[in-house]
Amino acid sequence: MSVARSRSSTPTVWSFFSGAMGLDLGLEDAGWHPSLAVEIEPKFCMTIRRNRPRITVLESDVADLNADELFRATGAREVDLMVGGPPCQSFSTGGNRAALDDPRGNAIFEYLRLVSEVRPRMFVLENVANLVTAAMRHRPISQRPGKRWNLSSYSNALTPALFEVQGVAAPLAEDEQSGSAIRYLLSTVIADLGYHVRFAILNAADYGAPQNRLRFVMLGSRDTPPPNFIEPTHGTPSQPRVTVRDAIGDLVDDPGPGSQYTPETRAFFDLVPPGGNWRDLPPDIAVKAMGEKSLLAGGGKTGFFRRLDWEGQSPTITGKPNRKGSAMCHPSVSRPLSVHECARLQGFPDDWVIEGSIADRYTQIGNAVPVALGRAIGTTLHQPSGADDVNAETMLQRAVARLRASARNKTSRSTRGEDAT
């Protein structure tokens, strides 16, 4: 028995935190067409209205909405699918990782509250992969017990004294433990919904995106167990992964508008080979490029001074491609990726208009779910109901293992000078 409604009828789909609609475009490709989009940012709403004028758009915070208002606004009597990717900065390694202490982290609760009120037949919750390891209360890495960052191994030219860490940190409290945030969600709010759930970590590159982007995806089904996630469609000899060249190779001479590097930053990037990052800089120049504070911060810092590789996949596209910790340089020209190039790497069609300033457009594109991943999720939702024989803890362990395996591969690639994604 299929979880989804018969394809002969039109399912009612509501989208929340819709942004530039990357997830929604993928769902549309799979036959799920949103009739409602809820988005708080005015510029994002302009993008939705420009490209999908027939969709009901509510420019609102989900915390201010309830089921009655949504049904009145749309005229719907029941909902087949609710999809939402609440703001993820509070769980992302690129954010402050305040988790549930951050109002953006609490947006997950508000979304699930609406699920409980609307009672759709299915829902999708999408977020950053690090949701499975996030703590309810984050303690900076440098303040954790047993952490002694010694980057002097990077090069003998760096002074070991730079990397000494003083003092002994107190043990982590229960709410500071890895995974405490998702375990809390699973044992309270999600358990109270009464839905069958299935979740996993998916990589957009496995489904045709020219980008390594790991995401947490949860499927909820009201009446029957959700389907199993479809197998990867790319990454085999018969169907290799889509490359950066495949996506943006035709835009080298006409990339369109975008930000620019300062002459000093451009000079640093001139020394980074395709697929490389700051570790490829000579040690004395690395100190100048990174600054002692960044070098002392701990962690792999593979996001600094990255240059894309034509024959690989892009790292995760962010909303600030010119920011020091997330900069991504063009594979063959020492400049940031343009707005158009970022949109291509996310899978947006060329005729999809992103409204606002250049900064607004970068943000909308970087915050989006790759269209190819949305398509994979939508295709999954059409599959038959899966077996309800895997408990939440097992799914969580599998998700964490996937995340850690990706981190190991990322470190290995960066140390070999390959694509550090």
Cβ neighbours of residue 29 under 8 Å, at least 6 residues apart? 371, 374, 375, 378
HSE-CB for 221 with a 13 A CA cutoff:
23
For 234-288, give the DSSP string.
SSSSSSPPPPHHHHHGGGSS---S-----HHHHHHHTTSPTT--GGGS-HHHHHH
Neighbour-count burial of 79, counting CB atoms closer than 10 A to its CB (0-12 exposed, 13-18 middle, 19+ buried): buried
**88 is known as an active-site residue:** yes
Report the DSSP pairing between strands 122-128 and 34-39. unpaired
For residue 291, how many other CB atoms are within 10 A of its CB? Answer: 12
What ranges make up the beta strands (E) of 24-121? 34-39, 56-59, 81-84
CA 214/CA 280 separation, integer angstroms: 25
* Token pair of 389 as six digits: 């024989």
* Token pair of 384 as six digits: 């038959």
Catalytic site residue from 45, 88, 329, 342: 88
3-state secondary structure of 27: helix
The helices-and-strands tally (H runs, E runs) of the chain is 14, 9
- Which active-site residues does the annotation give? 88
